[in-house]
Amino acid sequence: MRRPVRIAVTGAAGSIANNLLFKIASGEMMGKDQPVILQLIEVPQAMEALRGIAMELEDCAYPLLHTITLHDNVEDGFKGAHHALLIGSRPRGPGMERRDLLEINAEIFTRQGRALNDYANRDVKVLVVGNPANTNALIASRNAPDLSPCQFTALTRLDHNRAKGILANHTGACSKDVKNVIVWGNHSPTQYPDLHHANVLGRPALEQIDNNWYRESFIPTIQTRGGEIIKARGQSSAASAAQAIVDHMRDWVLGTDVGEVVSMAIVSDGSYGIAKGIIYSFPVRCDYGRYQIVQGLEISEYSRQRMTATEQELLDEKAMVEHLLPKEPEASHQELSTCIRSGVTLYADGTGPEANSKYLTTTRVM
């Protein structure tokens, strides 16, 4: 058996986690040969519910589940974590404005960023799920000056999967036959699900669907799908969110399928003219535990407008929390080329190459 990896999960007694943890423990996320240690984190008042979930996990006797630890604080829960899934966040309550939500969550993600900085494995891969996910990821990453901004991502794979599923259904294909859909921007109703590069059964998707349907039905359906699910179920998506988390992390760690493009919200390096330093969803491919933005795609005037609208929303969200963002790590969020191109990683025991190594000009890793 390989050495287990440590996976920290916040909001671990919530309904997304209740779907997710059993998938992780069965090897769906990290692979069928990778043992896992689950470090489950909840607020103190949910610890009893969390104990119940831990009992159920234990009762499944998963061969790959090495250890479960329960924590009522992120400082303990993030210790040594190789992967951190930040699911818990404060949902919007009645009468709350988006600004209030951003501010309340800013506190939560500031603390989580600091705790990751101080306690997680130096190569930790972070996925933020709790909304507003992109800006929460930005807050966490800006509060983790010793980690690379490239280690912080937010979930748009749910939107990506929705786009695949709904396009497959509309064209009569299977979702496995749908390739290269892209979700640009924010995990919010301004996101842009782009089919200009997608194909279905090897042929361009836009040749197989009505343009009117694409613009007037498909795009708004994907953009508002989360809200529609809340209306229908009385609570937000859980099983599909859990599946998207599994897909996002599996691809990041184990690589995307050959020829496949997926969507991940990552810190912008200025690709496609998107403002540097915001957490924006791009088309990426992953290999060797790293992601790279797919470059050189042609962007139509229509797409440009949509991409700019969702970029603007993220800039507005950033402006709302700007006073809470530490200034010192800002430069590293603007200048990513060193950490992205260096390919430097740290050793599995958490140490890195010698400080004077000619290849290492920064302690930041991707």
Please say which residue, 39 or 131, places its beta carbon nearer to ligand LMR: 131
Cα–Cα distance between 88 and 231 in angstroms, integer? Answer: 21
In Å, how far from its chain's centre is CA 229? 20
**DSSP of 47-73, one letter per residue?**
HHHHHHHHHHHHHTT-TTEEEEEEESS
If 0-12 CB within 10 Å is exposed, 13-18 middle and 19+ buried, where does residue 218 land? buried
Q: Tell me which H or E stretch contains 339.
A: helix 337-342
Interacting residues of 69 by C-beta distance below 8 A, sequence separation 6+: 37, 38, 39, 40, 77
Query: Do residues 220 and 228 touch, judged by C-beta distance below 8 A?
Result: no
- AA identity, residue 153: T
Please say which residue, 47 or 229, places its beta carbon nearer to ligand LMR: 229
Cα–Cα distance between 14 and 46 in angstroms, integer? Answer: 9
Cα–Cα distance between 57 and 9 in angstroms, integer? Answer: 14
Please say which residue, 186 or 303, places its beta carbon nearer to ligand LMR: 186
- AA identity, residue 365: V
Shortest Cβ 153–ligand LMR spacing (Å): 15
Shortest Cβ 92–ligand LMR spacing (Å): 7
Shortest Cβ 316–ligand LMR spacing (Å): 18
Shortest Cβ 301–ligand LMR spacing (Å): 28
Shortest Cβ 96–ligand LMR spacing (Å): 12
Closest residue by beta carbon to ligand LMR: 226
Footprint of ligand LMR on this chain (CB under 6 A)? 131, 158, 226, 229, 236-237
DSSP helix/strand/coil, 204: strand
187 is catalytic: yes
Cα–Cα distance between 180 and 285 in angstroms, integer? Answer: 10
User: Exactly one of 83, 160, 170, 187 is catalytic; which is it?
Assistant: 187
Extended beta strands in the chain, E state: 5-10, 36-41, 65-71, 83-86, 125-128, 152-154, 178-179, 182-184, 192-194, 199-200, 203-204, 262-267, 279-287, 290-293
Shortest Cβ 188–ligand LMR spacing (Å): 8
Shortest Cβ 196–ligand LMR spacing (Å): 23
Please say which residue, 63 or 227, places its beta carbon nearer to ligand LMR: 227
Angle ∠(351,279,192) on CA atoms, nearest 5: 140
Catalytic residue ranges: 187
